[in-house]
Structure 1
């Protein structure tokens, strides 16, 4: 609350001066790292152009969302005498400047705060930044607790964002190790969620290599920080979405995970329905007429799965054998990444038509079929006769 009030009532010029003095943008931290020869790039990615999406009835979907992307070139830097502060592990340089690359914000590209002359910045955005700045005077670590650390802590609760934004960073970690010969300690969240632990294990990160974050300051001799390619979409303001995809990063996750599962699970036979009936959330997007839906899907050879009941490795094995992936809009659909060439059928609630999973489908040339459903109290009310007709039209 204090941060928001300060952001709202302090003069814009004063806040701008504070931000410029106490922060490092992506461009600034890259330039400093280049001067120190402490930055390592990997290959530049080709531009990504997403094709227009239509429903089976010809309705055009996802208007207003960006459809063309020029992915940032992935890099990893080494910060000497760095500090990590607070529950979200915000990084500070040796000069006590906050490194914006370490702050995840779907609300706004915080790098733009460094050049706000003609920019309208909401008070809530300044508040995000000021809250981070309040930590800079609380350093108490008198010595290097670690020689070399790679922070991998997601402040987002979503499985989707962990898979598409954080697991690809392991590719940059391995690149750093090859270039320097050093093996950083991987810093993970306190009491890691099951999918965090299990996905790191399947990716080849030994549990003995990582350490849990204790939500306090840590001083590090060599702080290894990768680019953060945020992939957030704003349903109410599509044009303000912050989406920086990395197809090669997702391909790395896909290949690495599939290479570490047992053989014989890639025949493409499974017809998977991803159930959200057990999701505990006010925005659960369950299916109100679930029994009727399951009865219909049984006729078409679908098996229903509750992914929360499976380990990460079991999910990868399941989807590696997928022919069709179907389910309501939700994080579990990101597992389509581990399939060979699936048909993806997404049940979209009429109030939340965001193209997270269409983007992935299009980038990997998966066939995608959107089905928009009416809702009741936030849950989907699937038109069963219409769905049957759509499945028949698809030749299922």
Structure 2
């Protein structure tokens, strides 16, 4: 009798557990919908916290998602099966309708995390530009909010500059939760800071972001000599190497330019080199994120293979009051994706004209 009761009880427990997960899956109804911050705030007025840096910049915010979901590179979903447009992770500022989450027909079973996760992950965070301007400012917002959290969610952290910058911002490694490909997580509570920099949709580089980065990464090293003229080499990069770099440097070296390889330098070394430089020549690449550390009036020559349609560094140079010149290269009818991956050939005479 007792054995039959035990078997019956086991069946009930298994059924209850299955029912719980089934019910949880049904909460996330597909296809997903989109909602705005204002719409979400109307439903949950206590779940949106604004952060004002007392500047002319737009106010930033942190959204609290109870029982929210996070997928791979920081794409978050509310308990009500909605994507918050204001914190949507989109490549190159694409339209919300192109968000790949809207087209998904199913998700893996969510991994339950019974704690508070702060989501700072962003599309392309393995790229220095995206890391510096999309990820790191979100740490500042979390610190300003003073909302307690258990761990910070990052999707990809494998490069030295990522680990260095996280450490310099006071985040211990045991505070980091690293996501995985195709992993779907549901947390008891998600903290999602706003994305402060979105040049593609006209949200430029806020003054508070510029101040924050300079305060944390720019050091006053008076004991070292730094070159006044810098040429940033991409010969160690995986793409957009300058095919005729040797020829280009032959005209730069006699003018006093020193060649640097940013991938070999620590984060603070990159910052201080750009800060002390008076002239910088570089091909388009994420290393130009370091323009944020330059002094007003610094001359910048960007060798740009994108026919002017990719201009975050021109925008940044404008905000930093730098003297910016753009040298286009021949794309030979390549698509933007091919240009992204292809090596480039620079017209030496064009460079001479702007020096």
Scaled to the shorter chain, the TM-score interval is 0.7 to 0.9
Counterpart CA distance in 2 for 1:172 and 1:353 is 30
Indicate yes or no: 2:237 matched with 1:279: yes
Correspondence for 1:369: 325
Q: CA deviation at 1:74?
A: 1.0
Counterpart CA distance in 2 for 1:99 and 1:213 is 20
Question: Kindly tell me: are residues 318 and 213 of structure 1, through their superposed partners in 2, closer, same or farther at Cα, counting changes over 3 Å?
Answer: same
Question: Kindly tell me: are residues 101 and 390 of structure 1, through their superposed partners in 2, closer, same or farther at Cα, counting changes over 3 Å?
Answer: closer
Quick one: which of 80, 86, 95 aligns to 1:95? 80
Quick one: which of 190, 204, 209 aligns to 1:223? 190
Indicate yes or no: 2:120 matched with 1:145: no
Provide Cα deviations, 1:276-335, integer angstroms capped at 9, x if missing partner: 122213xx1x22322121111111111111212223232223223222221111111111
Correspondence for 1:119: none
Correspondence for 1:315: 270
Tell which deviates more after alignment, 291-300 or 151-160: 151-160
Counterpart CA distance in 2 for 1:98 and 1:92 is 5
Correspondence for 2:260: 305
Q: How does 1:322-333 map to 2 (within 5 A)?
A: 322-333=277-288
Contact kept in structure 2, 1:266 and 1:340, CA below 8 Å? no
Correspondence for 1:28: 39
Between 1 and 2, higher relative CO (CA 8 Å, sep ≥ 6) is seen in 1
Contact kept in structure 1, 2:50 and 2:62, CA below 8 Å? yes
Correspondence for 2:291: 336
Give the greater-gyration-radius structure (CA). 2
Question: Kindly tell me: are residues 138 and 72 of structure 1, through their superposed partners in 2, closer, same or farther at Cα, counting changes over 3 Å?
Answer: farther
Counterpart CA distance in 1 for 2:100 and 2:174 is 37
Quick one: which of 91, 95, 104 aligns to 1:109? 95
Partner of 2:235, secondary structure, is: coil
Correspondence for 1:255: 214
Superposed CA RMSD: 3.1
Correspondence for 1:162: 131
Counterpart CA distance in 1 for 2:158 and 2:208 is 22
Contact kept in structure 1, 2:229 and 2:258, CA below 8 Å? yes
Question: Kindly tell me: are residues 126 and 99 of structure 1, through their superposed partners in 2, closer, same or farther at Cα, counting changes over 3 Å?
Answer: closer
Gapped runs of 5+ residues in structure 1?
A: 1-16, 47-70, 114-124, 234-241, 392-396
Contact kept in structure 2, 1:268 and 1:323, CA below 8 Å? no
Q: CA deviation at 1:100?
A: 3.7
Counterpart CA distance in 1 for 2:161 and 2:220 is 18
Partner of 1:104, secondary structure, is: coil
Counterpart CA distance in 1 for 2:84 and 2:48 is 15
Counterpart CA distance in 2 for 1:367 and 1:265 is 28
Contact kept in structure 2, 1:82 and 1:91, CA below 8 Å? yes
Counterpart CA distance in 1 for 2:46 and 2:211 is 29
Counterpart CA distance in 1 for 2:47 and 2:292 is 35
Indicate yes or no: 2:145 matched with 1:189: no
Counterpart CA distance in 1 for 2:106 and 2:235 is 41
Counterpart CA distance in 2 for 1:183 and 1:252 is 25
Quick one: which of 191, 207, 222 aligns to 1:264? 222
Gapped runs of 5+ residues in structure 2?
A: 1-28, 335-341
Correspondence for 1:134: 106
Question: Kindly tell me: are residues 128 and 80 of structure 1, through their superposed partners in 2, closer, same or farther at Cα, counting changes over 3 Å?
Answer: closer
Provide Cα deviations, 1:127-174, integer angstroms capped at 9, x if missing partner: 54122x632x73352xx432x221121221422122122211122111
Counterpart CA distance in 1 for 2:155 and 2:76 is 15
Counterpart CA distance in 2 for 1:130 and 1:37 is 27
Partner of 1:145, secondary structure, is: strand
Indicate yes or no: 2:170 matched with 1:204: yes
Partner of 2:263, secondary structure, is: helix
Question: Kindly tell me: are residues 252 and 150 of structure 1, through their superposed partners in 2, closer, same or farther at Cα, counting changes over 3 Å?
Answer: farther
What TM-score do you get using the length of structure 1 for normalisation?
0.69
Q: CA deviation at 1:245?
A: 1.7
Question: Kindly tell me: are residues 171 and 30 of structure 1, through their superposed partners in 2, closer, same or farther at Cα, counting changes over 3 Å?
Answer: farther
Give the number of equivalent residue pairs: 315
Contact kept in structure 2, 1:76 and 1:225, CA below 8 Å? yes
Q: CA deviation at 1:91?
A: 2.0
Contact kept in structure 1, 2:308 and 2:328, CA below 8 Å? no
